[in-house]
Structure formats: C-alpha cells, structure tokens
Amino acid sequence: MVAFDERGVTFRWKDYRAKGCTRYKTMTLEASEFMRRFLLHVLPGGSHQIRHYGPLANPMRCARLARIRDLLHVVPEIRLPTDNAIIEVRPVFTCRHGGAPMIVIDILARSAPIRAPPMRRDQT
C-alpha cells in the first residue's frame, strides 16, 4: 500500500503480462472496493490453504509416479498403433536457442478474452 487519503487507497501491483519497467503499476481505488478485492484473497475461518501436496504435486511428479508404479508392481501400458490406426503427423520445429528438434504435443484452443478492469465510478 502506497497511500491512503480522501481519494482512496493507492497500492502497487504487478502486471505479469508487461515486461521491464512497466511491470509494476499503481492503482487507486475507493476504500470499500479495495477492501472487497483484498478480502477475496482471505480464506474463511477454519480453512487451510494447501499447495503442492501429495504424489501428484509438480515437484518430482514423474519420479514419484515411477516409484509408486514400482511399489505396486504396475508396468506402464505401452500402446502400439494397430494397422487400422491413423498416425497423426505433427510439424517439427527447431529450438532457436539449442538447435534441438521440438515437436508440437498439443495445441491449446483460444480461451475466453481477458476481462477488463472495472470502470471507475467517475467515468460512468
């Protein structure tokens, strides 16, 4: 928080889409709107925030799954294409940094557009 005065609450925030010196920005909101947005990040009483928990958590996921399969004596299923199967050919690109071939494994569909921030009351 940078300032709190008759105009409202001024605070700094980080714009992850921007790069360089424009990444950190300041915003001024009415005190009630600032509290509303701030309280969206507060968990209800009795709740616990859990991050990176269990064998499927991001760090060491592949190693843990391999260990679990080994302990359960499960062999990973290898699917071989049948004669009637259609083999999908994907374009191969070259990494511009290391020169190694890169293969497209998935194409993400375009999602809904990003919502704009709410309009200030004096602009309506």
pLDDT in tens, 69-100: 899 988 877 776 666 666 666 567 788 888 88
Q: pTM for the whole thing?
A: 0.39
DSSP string, the chain: --EEETTEEEEEEE-TT--GGGSEEEEEE-HHHHHHHHHTTSPPTT-----S-STTSSTTHHHHHHHHHHHTT-PPP-PPPPTTPPPPP--EEE-TTT--EEE----PPP-PPPPPPPPPGGG-
